[in-house]
Structure 1
């Protein structure tokens, strides 16, 4: 595999893959054809599906990318985990960390101008990922009633709300006596760009503000029908 991707030590405890039904012999290869990113599953002799991952998270409808932290690499990370582990919840929980630690490091180099990633390397990398893991909705404070295309997620250091159909996030940071609520978008940038923000007194209705920002995002880019 190309890039500085973490490898599990002999003492690492691998992440339990759903059913342990995948094969370590799986290998993926990425390259470009006329500038367009192409990813193949060599063991199955077919292209990695973009559409299946878009049904789970919609970061980059235009296709996959790699070599940096952005929407295209996020889509590739989700697709790789989804196909390899065949578990939607597992892929949704871990694809951001997998993008940051693995997909962002992939490079097309060597005589063949491509990168290779094996199933064994995916397992080894996942065994080392303990930070930046996105968890599914878990309640907690605050717990606003969000639009259907938004959900609450957990990060080690803060509360985050993520839009399922677009690359939009609401980040909630608490200060001494107020909340800072920020709507942002990752896009193709290395760091999220703020789209809007609110400063809210600690005793104020922060749930209402979070919902307002979620609805503002939905107004900017309308969600698919039935997910308002």
Structure 2
């Protein structure tokens, strides 16, 4: 069904009386559904934000953008917004999950134009928050602020591994097609680590909370040494 131009939300969002009016001093994005399809605009650049560039970086949702939940479409939009706003692939790939959870999941279409909008100030505030949370990534065995002091991340070429310093406990994080696979295992006197707990997390979700849960489980099983 074709949409008459007088009823098109893209006409409404650019009127002087509308709350989604472009602020010329700041970047502003607006989103709405047109003919049941999600449309996201960069009003400052007078351009439609397409998912193509973000899909080259993070392929969470082939159909494209969505918002208002923590699904794959919202993850793709979070990546697209950060990539467009910062023009920095490292920032977008590292922080899009947290940005989805904190910001994109809360977006909803409202007001006379039935749209949502984000300003550059909104994105800057969100980035200031998410960059304060250090991602769980291999770092050569140095302590990781988001883990207890007796744990550190270690380098492995084929997977992410977190190692306990006081005993031979490990958390191994593997990325599958649809799920993260997390194993808490113990080496001890065995030739191969024995699994103590196994968990899976949907691939679109941040695995960091599950890693921290398994780390806490290890520390509950065997109390950390005082000097760890």
TM-score grouping bracket, smaller chain normalisation: 0.5 to 0.7
Partner of 1:75: 76
Match of 2:8 in 1: none
| Residue of structure 1 equivalent to 2:182 | 171
RMSD of equivalent CA atoms? 3.5
| 1:122–1:41 CA distance, 2 compared to 1 (3 A) | same
- Inter-partner Cα distance in structure 2 for 1:108 and 1:153: 41
Compute the displacement of 1:126 (Å): 1.6
Shift of 1:174: 5.5
Structure 2 alignment gaps of length 5 or more: 1-23, 142-152, 163-170, 187-193, 208-217, 219-228
Distance in 2, Cα, partners of 1:89 & 1:30 = 24
Q: Which residue of 2 aligns with 1:197?
A: none
User: Quick one: higher RCO (CA 8 Å, sep 6+), 1 or 2?
Assistant: 1
Structure 1 residues 133 and 115: CA distance shift in structure 2, 3 A = farther
Identify the residue that residue 56 of structure 1 maps to in structure 2. Answer: 57
Judging changes above 3 Å, is the alpha-carbon distance between structure 1 residues 102 and 174 closer, same or farther for their aligned structure 2 residues?
farther
Kept after mapping to 2: 8 A contact 1:93/1:133: no
Between the two proteins, the alignment pairs up a number of residues equal to: 160
Instruction: List runs of 5+ in structure 1 lacking aligned partners.
Output: 1-22, 192-201, 203-228
- What is the distance in 2 between the residues matched to 1:179 and 1:132? 28
SS in 2 for 1:55: helix
Q: What is the match of residue 86 of structure 1?
A: 87
CA distance in 2, matches of 1:100, 1:132: 13
Residue 198 (structure 1) aligns with = none
Q: 1:162 to 1:96 in 2, by over 3 A?
A: farther
- Within 2, Cα distance between the matches of 1:159 and 1:86? 32
Q: Which residue of 2 aligns with 1:95?
A: 96
Aligned partners of 1:124, 1:136: CA distance in 2, in Å?
24
Q: Give runs of aligned pairs for residues 62-141 of structure 1, distance below 5 A.
A: 62-129=63-130, 134=135, 137-140=138-141
Give the structure-1-normalised TM-score. Answer: 0.58
